[in-house]
Structure 1
Amino acid sequence: MPGHLARRFQQIATAVFLSETTAAGYDLTPVQYAALSAIKLHPEIDQITLAGLIAYDRTTITGVVDRLVEKGLIIRTASSRDRRSRELTLTARGEEVLAGVTPAVEAAQQMMLRGLSQTEAAQLMQLLRKAIDHANDLSRAPYKPLPRR
């Protein structure tokens, strides 16, 4: 069943990610890494937009952001555009951690797909994207891309 296989692959992916990043000396979860990566690409992004970009629910993203602030990896500042909104930016330490952990994350990605040829890995990624794109609206935390400017 696809749901069972997706859950098993997620278990493996998380275990491999944590193993590789911990061995490299970093204390980050996969969602924290995703958040740091998104904030790097979109400095001064607000929390709600961040949640949509990494397909995480709005309530739980607050805890993720809180932990990244506590670790000194991001700062949260009042938005100049909307007083109710908080903007997120990487700190120098956050930039350093993101750059340092990325090779471990890339190694984890390779390890997750180690039983597949390059062609099979590309096909798997293509099929996963296709399935996810067509079921995105069924998620409690759908992916929401930034509007084109």
Structure 2
Amino acid sequence: MPDLIELPGHMIRRLQQIAVAVFQSELGAVGSDLTPVQYAALRTINERPGLDQATLAGLIAYDRATIGGVVERLLSKGLIVRDVNAIDRRARVLTIAPKGREMLDLVEPSVQRAQTVMLGGLDESEAAQFMRLLRKTITTGNES
């Protein structure tokens, strides 16, 4: 039986824990309590105003059952707005609020620093290869 540290699943889980800790540390330094998922949702809503929750969940690879909690937290922080869809009055659409744009402006340098810290043990070539392999593994996982 291989050592736990040799199992890809264990190492990926540890890397995810480290990535979240680095992200929260960098954003906390500028006074933000956004989580990685909240940041992904906020950024996606900014880039695609007027999308619905199900589409948002798909775009950030988050399960539809719990995206509602993420949206509710962003709404309660005043970072996004949920309105009735003008075309289908039964549907709701999400747009970023001015406070949300301000938050993105505030945290973007910290998000970029976090990415650098996460790959800190790798040189430029290794980081590029690591990212290529991550994309390949994720693509394969999405197809199965």
Q: What is the TM-score when the length of structure 1 is the normalising length?
A: 0.90
Partner of 1:43: 49
* 2:138 is the alignment partner of 1:132: yes
Q: What are the superposed Cα offsets for residues 11-67 of structure 1, whole Å, 9 maximum, x if unpaired?
A: 000000001100111110000000011011100111000000000011110000000
Structure with the greater relative contact order (CA < 8 A, sep ≥ 6): 1 or 2? Answer: 1
Instruction: Compare 15-24 and 79-88 and name the one that shifted more.
Output: 79-88
Residue identity (%): 59
- Flag the structure with larger Rg: 2
Unpaired stretches in structure 1, ≥5 consecutive residues: 139-149
Q: Which residue of 1 aligns with 2:20?
A: 14
Q: Distance in 2 between matches of 1:137 and 1:126?
A: 17
Match in the other structure for 2:92: 86
Determine the C-alpha separation between the residues in 2 that align with 1:81 and 1:6.
42
Letter in 2 for 1:33: Y
The yes-or-no answer on 1:76 pairing with 2:82 is yes
Please report the RMSD computed on the Cα atoms of aligned residues, expressed in angstroms: 0.9
Distance in 2, matches of 1:82 and 1:2, equals 45
Could you list the structure 1 runs, at least 4 aligned residues long, displaced by more than 3 angstroms after superposition: none
- Report the TM-score, using the length of structure 2 for normalisation: 0.93
